[in-house]
Structure 1
Amino acid sequence: MTFVRLVEEHRDELTAHCYRMLGSFHDAEDAVQETFARAWQSRDRYEDRGALRAWLYRIATNRCLTMIEGRGRRRELPTDLTPGAAPVAETAWLGPYPGRRSVTVEQRDPAQRLVESEHLELAFVAALQRLPGRQRAVLLLREVLGYPAAEVADLLGTSVTAVNSALQRARRVVDALRPTGSQQVELSGLGDEKVRELARRYVTAWERGDVDAILAMLTDDARYSMPPLPQWYEGHDAIRQFLLDGPLSVRWRLVPTYANGQLAFGTYLWSPEASVFTAAALDVVALRDDRIAEVVSFLTPETLRMCGLRMQLDQDLDRDEESRSARGDESVGPRGL
């Protein structure tokens, strides 16, 4: 097998790792491209083919650390801010990761895939962004990828003692910020049929502009945010007023999909001038039991393309065709409902 093919086998898992480090899918893709370029330049000096994966993670992690240091700001969600607070100037918002789950070459066991998907969920990745770069790297290399402390120390050019200390500090921060429940557990507990039914009801409520039906699907303490806008809303009263004041005054089409291992919806706004529905946002939702506890609506239409969705929908587009546009490989990348 050629060197290029050997390296390419690790693209998906490296992209997931860099996304966790950087909080941006586009930045992660850039980091992986740079990793491959550097690996190619150094291929003549690389001899231990059995350690290729660790070697690539060393390059990718250090590239991410350089990007974090150069960025000088962290990524976050609007709900990281107190209501009404202004964001830090030039805030870098956390972005979504396309697809239901990412499967690595070596992690094909269902339990391992579940753990990996949990580590792509928005809440976990948002918590990671609160950590200094090296603590972030240690936590991911030790607890997500399963490297022993001695190997992580070698990868990062530090000591085992420093690795263990960084891991303890990182765990305290992340455990305090991430929710107790996993979206993978919520989705599995509901089962595919109930998830599809929930998605269908949510789509119908939005397309009918039925605010009461939408609110009935939300938990009492539900939160709604729309990065890059800093404002966010919590509870039925605040969300009702927000929906009636703006979003529900226009026509929408929604297409179910997945992002960050979570249920998501591509949203399309009616354009009277073009007589089509145009891509507006990717709504990533967090479930609690059979209701929606949070909606993060990423107001960046290009994210729909990342999930394999169209940028426009005809008014009379058949729902079966619409679902096919969202469907991809179940194990890697976007997956329709």
Structure 2
Amino acid sequence: MAKLDETLTMLKDLTDAKAISGDEKEARDVMEKYIAPYADEVFTDNLGSLIAKKTGNANGPKIMVAGHLDEIGFMVTRIDDKGFVYFQTIGGWWNQVMLAQRVTIMTKNGDVTGVIGSKPPHVLTPEARKKPYEIKDMFIDIGASSKEEAEKFGVRPGDSVVPYFDFTVMKNEKMLLAKAWDNRIGCAIAIEVLKQLKDEDHPNVVYGVGTVQEEVGLRGAKTSTHTITPDIGFGVDVGIAGDTPGISDKEAVGNLGDGPQIILYDASMISHKGVRDFVVETADKNNIPYQYSSMAGGGTDSGSIHLTANGVPALSITIATRYIHSHAAILHRDDFENTVKLLVEVIKGLDAEKVKEITFG
């Protein structure tokens, strides 16, 4: 494996953390460790979203940069008499990426390794082989011989089940392969933005946020935005990559390495035109590459941010990522670095006058 520099070590620590929706502690602890040195204050809301505050001008506007801590996974619902574990999906899964995949069950006694069981093709009829296996029929094999033995391992209903995958720098070292890019990369962006603002003058108060429960309804974004009451909000997340076989331009246009994606529209919001225009102007002025994207389905934390209190002008900025909502995904390091660069320059330009102009035209 390639030697990890400081940034890659942070990305590895973030993606290795096990944290499905509703059980984000591991990822929150990692994010706090990395963001605290650059914040004046770090605290959580009552649902568990992490908020790191950095003051430039204490009387300036409040700017929120939010990634979500949670990843998709599963929750144990029952154990049968033979010790096989059944589960509820947490977040959106496609059944074809699940079978025979390794998982980790987080129990009161520590981690338990399992695999999502599948029938061998030898026992399937020709018709059955053509059909996708239904999620409701899947189970996790933890090597237990009985329900009692599974319980002795510490497994019980309500335990979190997390996909297992090692962070990997690929042969092209700009290409990074890991679980949970959705959305530890957003958390990494929030960390890095505060880090790069450490010795910069900025005319506002910046909040780097790791929200909880995004994958099950943008929930932590709602509570953390209520806590902060920002003047401008940015949801940073993964976006759809359209640069692999089988995806047409009609479905997705994002290319790895072509810069941050400015989201024009998704199912959770229409991006705020004033914020969008200012971000694009800033990118052009600083020669930062970017690409436009829109998603007919799905949404990001901006969907909750912009509807909080009496409304928050908001924009989603995403990183094109291949194979999201599976055990492992690929993104491009340059896109991460250019997203950070863009947000830092945007924040430096968001003084009270500019925010008023954006909000009220």
Which bin holds the TM-score, normalised by the shorter protein? under 0.3
Question: Quick one: higher RCO (CA 8 Å, sep 6+), 1 or 2?
Answer: 2
TM-score scaled by length of structure 2: 0.26
Q: Comparing both structures, which one devotes a greater share of its residues to helix?
A: 1
TM score, norm. by length of structure 1: 0.27
